[in-house]
Amino acid sequence: MVTKIALAGNPNSGKTTLFNDLTGSNQYVGNWPGVTVEKKEGKIQGHEDTILMDLPGIYSLSPYTLEEVVTRNYLINEKPNAIINIIDGSNLERNLYLTTQLLELGIPVIVAINMMDIVKKRGDKIDTAKLSKAIGCEIVEITALDGTGTKELINKVVKLAQNPKKKVPKGIFSLEVEKALSTIEDQLPKEISITQRRWYAIKLFERDKNVLKELNIASNLDGIITFVENTLDDDSESIIINERYNYITKTIKGIYVKKNGSDLTTS
Ligand code: GDP
Ligand code: K
Ligand code: MG
């Protein structure tokens, strides 16, 4: 059986560099159906039954850009066996915004912190063990440019794909939001699998136009969403965005350690 691994991350996080390192010349390049967004897949060297998909670079899984829609449709509909979320270690805080969303899809995620050569040259350190524990997924430090750490990454992701461990991150959203999400989850159609229910509930709470169109159950949910919006005095999409950022700011304290001893968020 073929194992499918998806490579997801912000633009310029090193996706293509890592993709080339892992697949060599063993690549197929085309376009996603109906759009002029590049589609690139390839067999991973040394793991010939494993396909790597280089997804378009994105900052979020919202429905506003073609790249975001292509990426989320692929992840939801094609259900890859695992995701490598490549992040720029020198821009940790901004990159983790997408990470929190990828962790909600019900697909096992491994985080590859790239650009470690830059982090090290600055004399800085990332407490990956602490971050890994906080967000509930494995992390590997890499330098895609020279291949440092990429063997370890691929061995770990292949293992994860064959023996999936999926943990939903806890503590991102407030109690008010969590309560609404679980009510929405209960009202989702039975056909939606257990692993994808949280993703759909969050998207419905945000009034995501693509998911609303797909599921067509909006009317029963509006009261639940409006109640939270009135309680927290903001629109539901902004509530989710703000709670994500607050979670990341809190989580990252003490994790990016600068040479002079201070950490990223207190400088
Ligand atoms: P993508 O947009 O995510 O596909 O990113 P690219 O693979 O095109 O990389 C963006 C830029 O970062 C390029 O100039 C790469 O050479 C550079 N880059 C990628 N990985 C590394 C790395 O580990 N260290 C350093 N210093 N630069 C890197
Ligand atoms: K690029
Ligand atoms: Mg690229």
- pLDDT tens-digit profile, the chain (267 residues): 899 999 999 999 999 999 999 998 788 888 887 777 888 999 999 998 999 999 999 999 999 999 999 999 999 999 999 999 999 999 999 999 999 999 999 999 999 999 999 999 999 999 999 999 999 999 999 999 999 999 999 999 999 999 887 677 778 999 999 999 999 999 999 999 999 999 999 999 999 999 999 997 766 799 999 999 999 999 999 999 999 999 999 999 999 998 876 665 544
* 111, containing H or E segment: strand 109-114
Task: Answer yes or no: is the ipTM higher than 0.85.
Answer: yes
Q: Which atom of ligand 1 is nearest to the CA of 144?
A: 23
Q: Which residues contact 121 (CB under 8 A, 6 or more apart)?
A: none
Distance between Cα 12 and ligand 2 center (Å) = 5
Kindly compute the dihedral angle of the four CA atoms of residues 201, 203, 204, 207, in this order, to the nearest 10 degrees.
160
The reply, when asked if residue 34 is annotated as ligand binding, is: yes
Q: What is the DSSP letter of 210?
A: H
Q: Are 251 and 135 in contact (CB under 8 A)?
A: yes
Is 139 in contact with 132 (CB distance < 8 Å)? yes
Residues lining ion ligand 3 (Cβ < 5 A) are 15-16
Ligand 1, atom nearest to 20 Cα = 7
